[in-house]
Amino acid sequence: MTDHTDDEESFVSSHLIEAVENQLAAGEPDYVQAVLNKLTLVGYEREDAVLLMAQALAYEIEVMLAADRPFDSAHYEQLLRALPELPERAED
């Protein structure tokens, strides 16, 4: 029996990383580049910084879906600016 959880997580992760990379390439929102600059300045490799940023995006999407609300860019910015600290996930 095959466990598809890892494949699904990898698929989602790669798309979230791609979303962050697209934001960086477009320069929008501008705080995304600022956060990448901050993280690399404090010693994170670019790849690790983008992964942290993708985790912040995943958290915002998770909260958005749970609350049945639109994407909150102000909350996303808050999450990014708090990096490298990640928000704690609520236990089920």
Cβ partners under 8 Å of residue 38, min gap 6: 83
Task: Please check whether residue 17 lies inside any domain of the structure.
Answer: no
Backbone angles phi, psi at 91, to 5 degrees: -80, 145
Residue 56 belongs to a domain: yes
65-86 per-position pLDDT tens digit: 999 999 999 999 999 999 999 8
pLDDT (0 to 100) of residue 11: 64
pLDDT at 5 over 90: no
- The count of domains in the chain is 1
**Domain contains 11:** no
Instruction: Read off the pLDDT of residues 21-64 as tens digits, 9 standing for 90 and up.
Output: 999 999 999 999 999 999 999 999 999 999 999 999 999 999 99
In a domain, 13, yes or no: no
Stated pTM of the model: 0.85
**Category of 68 on φ-ψ map: left (φ > 0), alpha (ψ -120 to 50) or beta:** left
**Pair 37, 83: CB distance under 8 Å:** no
Q: How far is CA 90 from CA 25, 80, 87, in A?
A: 32, 19, 9
